[in-house]
Amino acid sequence: MKRFQLKFAFVLIAVFLLSGCWDRYELEERANILALSIDIAEEGEDIEMPEVTHSKGEFPAEEKIIYKVAAQLAVPGKIMLGPGGGDTNSAETDWLLVTYGYSMKDVLSNLQQELAEKIYLGHIQLIVVSDKIAKKGLEDIMDFLKRDYEVRRTAWIMITEGEAQEILNATPPVQTVPSLYLSGTLKDAVMFGKLPKEYLGKVWIDFSDVGVDAIIPLVKPMGDHILVDGLVYFKDYQMVGTLTPTETGAILAMQGINPAGYSNVIVPGDKKGVYLVKPFKRISKISVEIQDGKPKVLIDVKIEGFVEEQLYTNDLSKEKLQELEKSASELGEKALSSLMKRLQQDESDILGIGARVRAFYPKYWNENVKTEDDWREIYKDLDIQIKMDYKILRVGMEWK
């Protein structure tokens, strides 16, 4: 009996100590995809598609688009962590593979066919999409990304004009993993107030919301690094236009996001001198009212800034500052109004005015608007007033 008890105890201990994991899935068995670029394959390209998910020519698409996807893979063991990592060139640590396919999963299946390790999307940092796809609509590529449980909602999505693969070719000399550098560029841009916080998860929310249209960062390849070139704005799932960095700053101001990342060039009323003023605090209030059965929008932006540079003159004083504030407010109002006009023309409601009408005036919405398309019609001729109050508090280390 005692022997039996001992044996039993041994088995019990073994069960608890020697248990393993069914889903054991070691790092070196994974092909970590760090970045994806999605292009439309041009005609005449040397397209080679293995028959992985379907037989040749039997993909049942309404309009066959061949996606060209470049995947940046981390080579296991090559990435050095810590300060020693500076010695390795980024060309050694990553591996760019190009595959073709009719859909996202089709492409990745084709890619898997070429790889020994199992594709793992859990570390994906960024997804670059070419503007051609964005103009056709992002709906089709989003379903896979949303459905797959490995893809992080905090990954970045960006759009580039031209070939998206160019972005992944950027190999910055300062960091070993290019895609980490690229996603870092965007993250820092958000931190410094140059971009709104529009990562993948946020973009999905904007796409789903009624009365909100999405914005996605626009980037441009610059050889070994990238330029954050403003924003792309959408109408439903389709890209309808781009915003320059200045306009991005204006959008951020209207959203009341701090800190502000862009300085403004301001010419005072008497045309003497040019000033660069940087806002450091912005408060914005988007208020909607229903007047005579029509929504009326007032965007009230309050900005506090400081003078960063004075050019062609040297006469900064209290009076001059007041003049500067006045012309800054006027200039800002004019710029914001024309920007809003453009967005209205393109029927892109990126500030979420429709969502606000829907939230605060549900009765009006249900009687007069009902659907998002109806809202776009109303949004087109919406009366949007912009009020800006620019205050300059500081002038830097110079008295004059």
Partner 1 sequence: MKHTDSISSIQLAVIIASTIIGVSLLVLPRFIAAEVGEAAILASIVGILISLISVIAITLLARKFREHTIFGCNQLLLGKYFGNLFNYMIVIVFIVIMGLEVRQFAEVLATGLLPNTPIEISIFIMIIICALVGYSNVSTFAYIHFFYLPFLLIPMFFFLFALEDIETYHLLPILGHNLSVKQFLSGAIIMTQVITNYFVIAMLIPYIKDYENCVKHGIWGFFLGALAILYCIVVSLGVFGAKELQEMYWPILSLSRIIQIPGEVLSRIDAIILITWIFAVFTTLLSYYFVIVRGTAELFRTDKYSFITVLMIPVIFVFALIPNNVYEIYEYASKITYVSLFLFIILPVCLLVIGHFRKRTGVQ
Dist. CA 260–CA 281, nearest whole Å: 7
Min separation Cβ 355 and partner 1, Å: 4
- In the set 359, 373, 380, 398, which binds partner 1 (CB under 8 A)? 359
Closest CA to 34 of 68, 70, 74: 74
Confirm if 301 and 251 have CB atoms less than 8 A apart.
no
Contacts of partner 1 in 184-203 (CB under 8 A)? 199, 201-202
Min separation Cβ 75 and partner 1, Å: 21
- In the set 355, 384, 392, 395, which binds partner 1 (CB under 8 A)? 355
281 part of the interface to partner 1, by CB under 8 A: no
Confirm if 219 and 153 have CB atoms less than 8 A apart.
no
Dist. CA 172–CA 341, nearest whole Å: 39
List all residues 6 or more positions away from 42 whose beta carbon is below 8 Å from its beta carbon. none
358 part of the interface to partner 1, by CB under 8 A: yes
Q: Which is nearer to partner 1, 305 or 352 (CB)?
A: 352
Measured between alpha carbons, how far is residue 147 from residues 190, 264, 296 in Å? 27, 42, 39
- Token readout for 360 is 């605060």
Q: Per-residue x/- marks for partner 1, 214-253, CB under 8 A?
A: ----------------------------------------
Q: Which is nearer to partner 1, 89 or 366 (CB)?
A: 366
Torsion of CA 253, 258, 259, 263, to 10 degrees: 10
Min separation Cβ 393 and partner 1, Å: 26
262 part of the interface to partner 1, by CB under 8 A: no
- In the set 8, 89, 114, 208, which binds partner 1 (CB under 8 A)? 208
Q: Which is nearer to partner 1, 137 or 273 (CB)?
A: 137
Which among 19-27, 132-140, 258-266, 295-303 is the span making contact with partner 1, rule CB under 8 A? 19-27
Min separation Cβ 151 and partner 1, Å: 9
Rg (CA), the chain: 27
Dist. CA 9–CA 358, nearest whole Å: 66
Closest CA to 90 of 73, 104, 102: 73
352 part of the interface to partner 1, by CB under 8 A: yes
Dist. CA 77–CA 174, nearest whole Å: 19
Name residue, tokens 């893809």.
Answer: 151
Contacts of partner 1 in 147-166 (CB under 8 A)? 149, 152-154
Name residue, tokens 């249209």.
Answer: 213
3-state secondary structure of 85: helix
Which among 33-41, 220-228, 341-349, 353-361 is the span making contact with partner 1, rule CB under 8 A? 353-361
- In the set 6, 12, 205, 311, which binds partner 1 (CB under 8 A)? 205
- Token readout for 100 is 């073709």
Contacts of partner 1 in 315-344 (CB under 8 A)? none
356 part of the interface to partner 1, by CB under 8 A: yes
3-state secondary structure of 79: coil
Residues near partner 1 (CB under 8 A): 22-23, 25, 146, 149, 152-154, 199, 201-202, 204-205, 208-212, 352, 355-356, 358-360, 362, 365-366
